[in-house]
């Protein structure tokens, strides 16, 4: 299995690792088949993601996917962040082995969970995603 330099870079030196105790939105999602779990913490101000941190338990592809996903959504509006797909994550990582594509899906779903967690606490309607797992 070959990993891109970008995957290895984000695995060995992941960005935005940690916890934001005062997070406005927290999303956690796991894949029961492989055991990978991601948790994203968002600070939201004026409908934009001011800061984001993550914790991940899983393989190198899961950690790299979570790391790059936080970079993709930081500074973006909630709508822009919601529209980050697993394909966006794969492209940003310069590809993932086909057996690891589910890690990019996990990142997309965790972003959705965190945004909907914020929307729920703000009294807003939840957004629907293609996975319908809000």
- Is the CB of residue 100 less than 8 Å from the CB of residue 92? no
Considering 17, 34, 59, 101, which one is annotated as catalytic? Answer: 34
User: Could you give the C-alpha distances from 12 to 31, 50, 59, 97, in angstroms and in order?
Assistant: 22, 25, 12, 18
- Is the CB of residue 61 less than 8 Å from the CB of residue 41? no
- Closest C-alpha to 35, from 62, 2, 8: 62
Considering 73, 90, 96, 103, which one is annotated as catalytic? Answer: 103
Q: Quick check: is 59 catalytic?
A: no
Contact residues for 95 (Cβ-Cβ < 8 A; gap 6+): 4, 7
Q: Quick check: is 103 catalytic?
A: yes
Q: Which residues are catalytic?
A: 34, 103
């Amino acid at each position: 299995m070959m990993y891109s330099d970008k995957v290895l870079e984000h695995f060995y030196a992941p960005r935005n690792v940690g916890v934001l105790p005062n997070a406005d939105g927290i999303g956690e999602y796991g894949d029961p088949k492989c055991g990978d779990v991601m948790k994203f913490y968002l600070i939201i101000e004026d409908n934009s993601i001011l800061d984001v941190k993550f914790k991940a338990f899983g393989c190198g592809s899961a950690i790299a996917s979570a790391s790059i996903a936080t970079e993709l959504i930081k500074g973006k509006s909630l709508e822009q962040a919601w529209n980050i797909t697993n394909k966006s994550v794969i492209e940003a990582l310069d590809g993932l082995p086909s057996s690891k594509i589910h890690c990019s899906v996990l990142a997309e779903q965790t972003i959705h969970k965190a945004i909907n967690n914020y929307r729920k606490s703000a009294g807003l309607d939840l957004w629907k995603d293609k996975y319908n797992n809000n």
